[in-house]
Structure 1
């Protein structure tokens, strides 16, 4: 139980009706979870508006309502707080309710289009190997030191973030690495959190179904750096044209990394093979099991962050050499028939280019490169033809299939993709709606030393069709089919 006025610290309030000295049990923004003495925060979401559920929340026991517009009919025994922004209010309230947990550990946020999961997950792995208690808030999973919890969003809601951060406090966690998505920033989910540092990986075409323009998408990412305190660090990839944009209004100490430009942390790729990368990182040579130039950038981000957090240079290099691939990020195996199968989360044009160029840099060109790729339903349609263009241009064969169709007809998504294929590449493409069948076909087409890339879903172990989630794991499925071919 907490006194309402204590939870409202830092919230921008326009009007108060009733007493703020009442004690409340907990905070909820989902009216279905309301119990006696709860605070209900009415949020205007993209699908439903919480303001429509205020009466229901009161009937179910809510004694305080946080909203952006007061209801017409006010009940005498209820406290109503009109706020400027319900999302922002929820973030501050959650932070207060859980006792400002981010102030009791070193929290580092990772933002950008690609690389967020890899960088945050590998930093978790590295600091664990260094002997620290570490937390992770990622797309793949949530870790409270050694205990794993299931992740549902790239950046969870602010109540969930603060709940897990408090659990980390209770476990004595010293560092936490967190993916910070553009949705999360735009919806103020990270407001009120104290960040030790922020990392910018890159910016490319994504989420234009949510952000109306690329400039808006970029500026939302930039807002994260604008809000960093002066004691924090901001580490940015300046090979990306938006890398320096992130620094424009930040008070944080600025550091840079790059492969192509002069930077605080810079690297040169000496060897690039399926077994790993040999890098010259600043003045040191480093071997890593991670593969490709995109991972060279990730390693720079990890190295720079670890040093800025106080680890010794030689220890960081040793620990990076021990790091293992993150699930669904260039995750590969070689079958008994010497077929290489790679599963990668690449679901944006830029990420797909990176993965395919990496494979093409390594392969001898005597092998077939068969790419299986789809695009998500109810998401940005403009990237569909681009994804198909890239897959067909950079592969010897491309199979277009379903990703997570969600509420859309899969065939329609594939038709949108096919519009991006240039005439000279028509013969290289095939469309198979059923993803399992598409993977099976790729396995049947492949011969010894050929390479199969299955792109788009990576670590996801489900397929979302018409509101339902079905078990589906690209990595397991391709393993099964390649084993069947060996019999």
Structure 2
């Protein structure tokens, strides 16, 4: 039975055995683990949050982005921590102290050990990239479940075990939670795990104790600059995914992306390439057509492909229908199809399964078709906005009504970039009405739009002298947009976070 919060009971393990399972990967200081004082103490769990320490827990202290957890060591001991893992030298305490080079990686390795190394008991497909992760992983999970296989999913919209869903707090869970969830999947006889792998999760080494069988790359463009120190830091975080793969793993990389070589050159794994434009792609989409919110194309495998079962796939040509529109969804579909074929599923069954993919929340989601159409998408960066506008430019409609949310807590530059894309497309498409909202009524405190962010967003639009309505209340902004629609019009809802509630008012 799946527990309410996807937690599970960890095994009984002593500190000595826990360290044996994790060293020397996290520390080379202890040649003789038995010499550590009180190493026979039973460990009840691992955490990096001093306020969540329970008696018998290992507390892992490291220097984070905002806080240095070493200052909370005494609090952790007071709450019952049986041992402490640190990055910095500490004065003697009443419990064992183990010094490591990388506290975050130690946390992942220790959490994996406490929970019986669950990642080793699953066939794991991971997908990273700036855009497309959520749709691609949902497609993969849908195909696997259609094959009557037990499956788990970790992603932005939700986590699921054998189809039972739970809200997702983070795209990639924190390490202290991730391995609990994976163990719960193992206990529920999950065979395949499909996971989005975020740049945050990679930079913070959350997934470093998982051996990925298949690693997919969608694309990369500017995003999360509020978290990463620079563009180079963002790219390096993504590339880390492919550096951690073994020679037995298989990478599936978008050959059309300008940064293809950055990822392909960093891995020891086998490499499969996919794409639409470049001749170097081993798997291509040809004869692309869009009709009635569907995408049709010819799938061409131009050369033999490696698989997890070491039984290669011969070159072949097949016709594919994906029931979601857009060129970007062709890329998502190519990656999903390839992942499942490489995992060992029959190609004809995979193509059949993806043809009834139900779509996903706020990814060009059709909310209404008649008498006017309403589309909802969480586009929140330059690349995702370009993808949405490119898609709707090929759809039949009379006039376009746009309601878009400004991004709070993302700074001036991101908002100005997004607005510049919006302004460009306003000049190309028959836009009848533009409504801009700060969603104050529904945005979380941390996502409230600041004055300078709003000013940056409005600047390109005002420069082009396009009329707009600025409405702070989300419900009123949606009602204003929908009430302006006439037969044949298209209403487009755009933006992340608080805009997730917009569907309630259509």
8 Å CA contact 2:423, 2:460 repeated in 1: no
Structure 2 counterpart of 1:473? 501
Matches within 5 A, 1:296-307: 296-307=330-341
- For 2:331 and 2:462, how far apart are their aligned partners in 1? 31
- For 2:434 and 2:49, how far apart are their aligned partners in 1? 43
Match of 1:276 among 261, 270, 294: 294
8 Å CA contact 2:382, 2:418 repeated in 1: yes
Q: SS where residue 420 of structure 1 aligns?
A: helix
Q: SS where residue 384 of structure 2 aligns?
A: helix
TM-score (norm 2): 0.87
Matches within 5 A, 1:95-244: 95-244=112-261
Structure 2 counterpart of 1:446? 485
Q: For structure 1, which segment, 316-325 or 6-15, has the greater mean C-alpha deviation from structure 2 after superposition?
A: 6-15
Q: What's the offset of the Cα at 1:380?
A: 4.5
8 Å CA contact 1:112, 1:200 repeated in 2: yes
Structure 1 counterpart of 2:360? 326
- For 1:33 and 1:405, how far apart are their aligned partners in 2? 24
- For 1:279 and 1:335, how far apart are their aligned partners in 2? 24
Q: SS where residue 114 of structure 1 aligns?
A: coil
1:81-134 CA deviation, whole Å, 9 max, x = no partner?
111111010010011111111111110110000001111111111100011111
8 Å CA contact 2:45, 2:56 repeated in 1: yes
Structure 2 counterpart of 1:469? none
Match of 1:420 among 440, 460, 464: 460
1:253-311 CA deviation, whole Å, 9 max, x = no partner?
10011011121111025321343111111122222211110100011001111110011
- For 2:292 and 2:421, how far apart are their aligned partners in 1? 21
8 Å CA contact 1:341, 1:451 repeated in 2: yes
Q: 1:206 to 1:269 in 2, by over 3 A?
A: farther
Q: What's the offset of the Cα at 1:422?
A: 6.5
Q: SS where residue 466 of structure 2 aligns?
A: helix
Q: For structure 1, which segment, 171-180 or 34-43, has the greater mean C-alpha deviation from structure 2 after superposition?
A: 34-43
8 Å CA contact 2:142, 2:354 repeated in 1: no
- For 2:170 and 2:114, how far apart are their aligned partners in 1? 22
8 Å CA contact 1:372, 1:399 repeated in 2: yes
8 Å CA contact 2:173, 2:206 repeated in 1: yes
Q: SS where residue 361 of structure 1 aligns?
A: coil
Q: 1:108 to 1:409 in 2, by over 3 A?
A: closer
8 Å CA contact 2:409, 2:449 repeated in 1: no
Match of 1:288 among 322, 341, 357: 322
1:195-237 CA deviation, whole Å, 9 max, x = no partner?
1010000001101111122222112101110111110100011
* Matched positions, count: 461
8 Å CA contact 2:48, 2:60 repeated in 1: yes
8 Å CA contact 1:376, 1:406 repeated in 2: no
Structure 1 counterpart of 2:275? 258
1:315-373 CA deviation, whole Å, 9 max, x = no partner?
1111111111111111113255x121111111111101100110011235xx2212222
Q: 1:254 to 1:210 in 2, by over 3 A?
A: same
- For 2:409 and 2:150, how far apart are their aligned partners in 1? 39
8 Å CA contact 1:373, 1:391 repeated in 2: no
Q: For structure 1, which segment, 48-57 or 217-226, has the greater mean C-alpha deviation from structure 2 after superposition?
A: 48-57
Is there any run of 5+ residues in structure 1 with no aligned partner, and where?
464-471, 479-487
Q: What's the offset of the Cα at 1:411?
A: 4.0
Q: What's the offset of the Cα at 1:382?
A: 1.4
Structure 2 counterpart of 1:52? 71
Is there any run of 5+ residues in structure 2 with no aligned partner, and where?
1-11, 31-35, 301-316
1:143-197 CA deviation, whole Å, 9 max, x = no partner?
1113222210011011222111111111211111001000100000011211101
8 Å CA contact 1:267, 1:300 repeated in 2: yes
- For 1:237 and 1:169, how far apart are their aligned partners in 2? 31
8 Å CA contact 2:367, 2:376 repeated in 1: no
Structure 1 counterpart of 2:436? 400
Q: 1:372 to 1:274 in 2, by over 3 A?
A: farther
CA RMSD of aligned residues (A): 1.9
